[in-house]
Structure 1
Amino acid sequence: MEVFSAGRAGSRGPGVVDTPPELSRHLGRGLISRLDGPQGSRGDPVRLLDPACGEGALLLAAGRLLKAEGRPFELIGIEIDPDRAAVARTRLDQAFGAELSRIENQDALEVEWQRGTAVLANPPWVSFSGREAAPKGASHLRRHQEAAKAVGRWPSLHGAFLARIAAHVASERRPARILLPASIAEQEGYAPLRAETTRLAQLDEPPELLRETSFPGVSVPGLLLTLTPRASAGAGSEEPWACLDPGRAERLEGLWNFPRLPPKSFRDLGVHTGNSARLLVLDLDPFLPALREGRDLTPFRLASPRHSLDVTLQPTDEQRFRHGELERYTSVPILLRQTASRPIAALHTDPTYFRNSLLGCSPPSSLAPEFCVAVLNASVAGAWHRLSFLEANQRNFPQVKIGHLRTQPFPFLERASAPQLHDEIVQRVRELPDEGFERSCREIDELVFEAFRIEPPRRAELRAAAQ
């Protein structure tokens, strides 16, 4: 978890980093366009609220857009820092006049928000847990910690703002555009927050992924989330939000309708060493079962184990770890690396225990494991993963997770659909040579393209996206 934010002029403390002007205009432009539809008519005055306005960058950008269009408007900001509130007030007064803007020096999470307002926001990105938790002395942040815990296993100030904004969208029937850390879209700790957000409002479109370069001084991606009122009440969903990468839909065109393996095909079965790795994971010992880990696996290849697992060790309150019986691991025909920027798979040859840096795949009996390994290693799978999931693009420890793998398209789920092609791919995988290995892998990749019925002109584009 990071401690940073966007939407202020310069870095000013926990959660504060400048927002580039173009991004401010992009956010405002998208919000204003949504006020021309069911939430309002073009002749109505536009009332905008930024509940964490800092020095007013987002309101200033939106006001200039509205002024250029000749539309009536009112801009309202809330800012907890009195100095920054004063700067925002001065900037907006100079740009539009005091009668068109109002800045309140208050804590937005402790006051009522103005009725009938659409929200544009870039709340402080501040965690209350983990390595990047807010400093213990930051009482103005910490007083919101208990409230934040109600909407996620990873309580955060930005999470508390998102939940409040979603409730405002529901009550006022007005849209909102919010800048947030991209981890909200996928990480499991934010699942309750995603459920609460989608219970109250709907995602108007897939969140727009903002690359790391969008925010100078910020080391992880952000995203731009657009919320609109729900047509009717309903349950929220904890499912990850697929983010919109520019051109993603075009590059993945035609893959959405292919089938997926049954969800139970992919499982996180590996040995969880907890706080006892040094005691459990030993040098290879002929008297103990072998143990594999992520680094033992490369595309189509599984190296001999380099470690053993001390199965005689028992967990205690001080020694926390988890593993099952050997058969649980040896019954898995395919392994995949968990720390990778795309799926990397191999047959589980000489099966034994494996750590949770490896994931297990047990495909349906209607497909040979060799065929599934070829599909998972192919450019199609790589492109799908890298264009669909934020964690694939992290510079440090990119991730392949069970939820990601369950979305992977497969060309078919029955050998009978294309028996000749299925069997040729299986045979090629079984006969992969040491000499000319890379060339043979490329030939298998071409066969997988054929299985997906992808024409040659699109293949180079997908290969590039998979890298």
Structure 2
Amino acid sequence: MAARSAMESSVLEVASALLEEGADADQVREDTMRNVVSAWAESHQQELPKALRLLPSVERHDTLVDAFAKEPVEAVGGAYELLVAHSVKDGRWVRTRARKQSGSFYTPPAVAARVAREALTPRAAEIAALPESERRAAWLATRVCDPAAGAGVFLLAALGVIAAESGAPTAAVARSCLFGVDKSALAVAVAEASVALAAGAVPRLAVGDALVGAPPGPARTLFPTGGFDWRAAFPDAADGFHVVIGNPPWIAYAGRAAQPLAPELRAYFREHYRTLRGYPTLHGLFVERAAALAPRGTIALIVPSPLSDLDGYRPVRRVLAESHTPREPLLELGQDAFVGVTQPCIVLIADPGADPRGGDRAWRLVERQRSAAQAAEVSVPAALSRLAERAPLPAELFGEMGFQSSGEVSRRLFRRADAPDALHDYPLLEGRNVHEFRQDAPRLYLHRDADVLARSRCRVRPLDDYRRARFVIRQTAAWPIAALHGGLPFRNSLLAGFAHDAFAPELVVALLNSALYRALHLAARRDARQAAFPQMKVAHLRALPAPPSDPERHARLSDLCRRATASGIDTALRRELDAVVFDLFDIGDARNEILTFLAARAPKLAKL
């Protein structure tokens, strides 16, 4: 963990002192932020507007004044994010997972500034076409909104861009151009204070749920009364905003990382948002709301990269395509763009006007694994694109049947050992046990306690069920890793492969472990190219092309699979297998191009 800065240490020191005085954590956060605002204003000789929600505390903390003397105004929001990332335990401030569970992370000011510049580019071009005498007024009529404003980092970024472009006083820009909403009253107060410290004026911010209630503009009539009323809160933006910008919370309401959603909210979202019909996420809802808030404007949101291409996000892409066109290729920020986040993310910038290509396609990206790495749009060999258009492998070849465990089952019923004991007698293979063409012996055993399993709703299949699986594929992997299956039970970290009249299990395992099929998978799946937790899915396997009919080569590949299973795979055997697969698909001159692509996208494979 990185060492704390002087600012962070001072903020937590003040928060700890206030905590000792008996206030609860929420009150301490507010009182600490009052001190932070006061300290920044004093150290930078900045006068605060009297209308500020977060007026300074009468108590003075000199350590804060010194700590903020050389900090930019964005550090005020950074102090708030630091406090929210901590909770009180045994009378002390400790780092918590609450921010991760809420899906909210602090956006670095440099990232926010870049997004703001890109988002305001169309507006700048529009204003540049006006007579010079009209440009400042046009800039001051520009409306920028962050519907999940947090500490206000995007509003500060927009303030800087508009003030620089227009030459208008920052106070005028803050009063006229900046709008924001957040569910947290303290976040709104901090955002307001941050802008006020930078501009000397208060922007138009409101406390509320940006997703519940009627937006301004044409979509207003589709929503019931009640909730947050955008038109009442911001009458100047009754027709919508020129730019909707921000980094909304990334929360999933389904899948492994699912967070709870109140039934009444789920019902409301299902009735009024179409983006909840696929993979239900909060950030998907914000994309739909942003499009409604800016029907004739630009949206610029930081969202997880999978939104660009996964089938579950297709409803989001479809809804957006009805009114906006993504500005492709979209920029990927890298999986380390935010502290504590490994999920790759993109800057989704979309301009007004329906997407002529529709919403069923994947969006093009300029991919980047790390924020410091060079970004590049992936160039896929034409031969791979042609093969991807072939008829796919039969869907019935692949499925999911692995044992799914709850936290209680993992804690109470699992035992890791080289052999079973009297209680833990049910072996479970895991993804880590499966390698190309071979399996390790299981080292995980389950105690089949009926009460615990029933309470956790965990189903234990009969052993005969698992004997139907003729091969298995590791789920957490960037490319297919498959082996023949001996019939043991397995966890859901493995996918199942079944017998098929047209394709022997040995043939399918040989194909999946070949360089060509791995290149096909990496070319088709952006999420496979990400460094953090790539997942092999049944849909991915079912999308791979079926091989041409060639009994002689099919038999040869099956034989190679049996040899690799019996004795392991060495360099000579691997080259022989890859050559047969390339010949099966009649790939000649493009072979080297495909291998070069594979080596660039999966350097580890080049070392095998």
Establish whether TM, by shorter chain, passes 0.5.
yes
Q: 1:353 aligns with which of 469, 489, 493?
A: 489
1:316-335 map, 5 Å: 317-335=454-472
Query: In structure 2, how many angstroms separate the alpha carbons of the residues matched to 1:351 and 1:242?
Result: 42
Aligned to 1:17: 106
Aligned partner of 1:362 among 482, 498, 509? 498
Structure showing the higher helix proportion among its residues: 2
Query: Using the alignment, how far apart are the partners of 1:25 and 1:384 within structure 2?
Result: 37
How far off is 1:298 after superposition?
Answer: 0.5
Deviation at 1:196, TM superposition (A): 8.2
Query: Is contact 1:121-1:178 (8 Å) kept?
Result: yes
Match in the other structure for 1:168: 293
Q: Counterpart in 2 of 1:194?
A: 316
Q: Deviations over 1:45-65 (max 9, x none)?
A: 573523245143431464378
Q: 1:443 to 1:232 in 2, by over 3 A?
A: closer
CA–CA distance in 1 between the matches of 2:500 and 2:349?
Answer: 39
Q: Please, which of 393, 410, 429 is the counterpart of residue 261 of structure 1?
A: 393
Distance 1:458 1:272, change over 3 A: closer
SS in 1 for 2:203: strand
Q: Structure 1 residue 43 and structure 2 residue 129: aligned?
A: yes
What is the aligned partner in structure 2 of residue 221 from structure 1? 344
The within-5 A match list for 1:254-403 is 254-258=383-387, 259=390, 260-274=392-406, 275-277=408-410, 278-279=412-413, 283-284=419-420, 291-306=428-443, 313=450, 317-348=454-485, 350-362=486-498, 365-383=501-519, 385=521, 388-390=525-527, 393-395=530-532, 397-403=533-539
Superposition deviation, residue 337 in structure 1:
0.8
Would the alpha carbon gap of residues 300 and 162 (structure 1) be closer, same or farther in structure 2, given more than 3 Å must change?
same
Structure-2 change in CA distance of 1:133 and 1:269 (3 Å): closer
Distance change (3 Å), C-alpha of 1:295 and 1:157: closer
The one-letter code sitting in structure 1 at the alignment partner of 2:393 is L
Aligned residue identity for 1:88: V
**2:187 paired with 1:84:** no
RCO comparison, higher one (Cα < 8 Å, 6+): 1
CA, structure 1 residues 257+391, in 2 after alignment: closer, same or farther (shift >3 Å)? closer
Deviates more, 1:23-32 or 1:398-407: 23-32
Task: Please report how far the alpha carbon of residue 446 of structure 1 lies from its aligned counterpart in structure 2 after TM superposition.
Answer: 4.6
Contact 1:366 1:413 in 2 (8 A): no
Which deviates more from structure 2 when the two are superposed, residues 123-132 or residues 419-428? Answer: 123-132
Match status 1:118 vs 2:242: yes
Out of 440, 455, 458, the residue aligned to residue 591 of structure 2 is 455
- Which has more radius of gyration? 2
- Answering whether residue 529 of structure 2 is matched by residue 427 of structure 1, we say no
The sequence identity of aligned pairs, in percent, is 24
**Corresponding residue number in structure 1 for 2:333:** 210
2:323–2:355 contact (8 Å) kept in structure 1: no
Partner of 1:105: 205
Q: How many residues align?
A: 430
Q: How far does residue 324 in structure 1 lie from its aligned partner after superposition?
A: 3.8
For normalisation by structure 1, the TM-score amounts to 0.71
Q: What is the RMSD computed on CA atoms of the aligned residues? A: 4.8
Q: Is the contact between residue 181 and residue 222 of structure 1 (CA under 8 Å) also seen in structure 2? A: yes
The residue identity in structure 1 corresponding to 2:129 is: G
Q: State the distance in 2 between where 1:175 and 1:116 align.
A: 11
* Contact residue 116 and residue 245 of structure 2 kept, 8 A: no
2: CA distance, partners of 1:11 / 1:414: 61
* Partner deviation per Cα, 1:342-361 (whole Å, 9 max, x = no partner): 3211122x223322111013
Q: Which runs of 5+ in 1 are unaligned?
A: 1-6, 135-141
Looking at structure 1, the residues matched to 450 and 249 of structure 2 have their Cα atoms a distance apart, in angstroms, of 42
Distance 2:341 2:442 in 1: 39
* Alignment map for 1:145-164 (pairs within 5 Å): 150=270, 158=283, 160-164=285-289
Q: Deviations over 1:329-351 (max 9, x none)?
A: 22222211112233211122x22
Q: 2:282 & 2:317 partners in 1: Cα distance?
A: 17
8 Å Cα contact 2:344-2:530 kept in structure 1: no
Match of 2:567, SS?
A: coil
Distance, in Å, in 2 between the alignment partners of 1:243 and 1:381 is 22
More deviation, 111-120/121-130 = 121-130
- TM-score computed with the length of structure 2 as normaliser: 0.57
Query: What letter matches 1:362 in structure 2?
Result: F
Whether contact under 8 Å (2:521, 2:540) holds in the other structure is yes
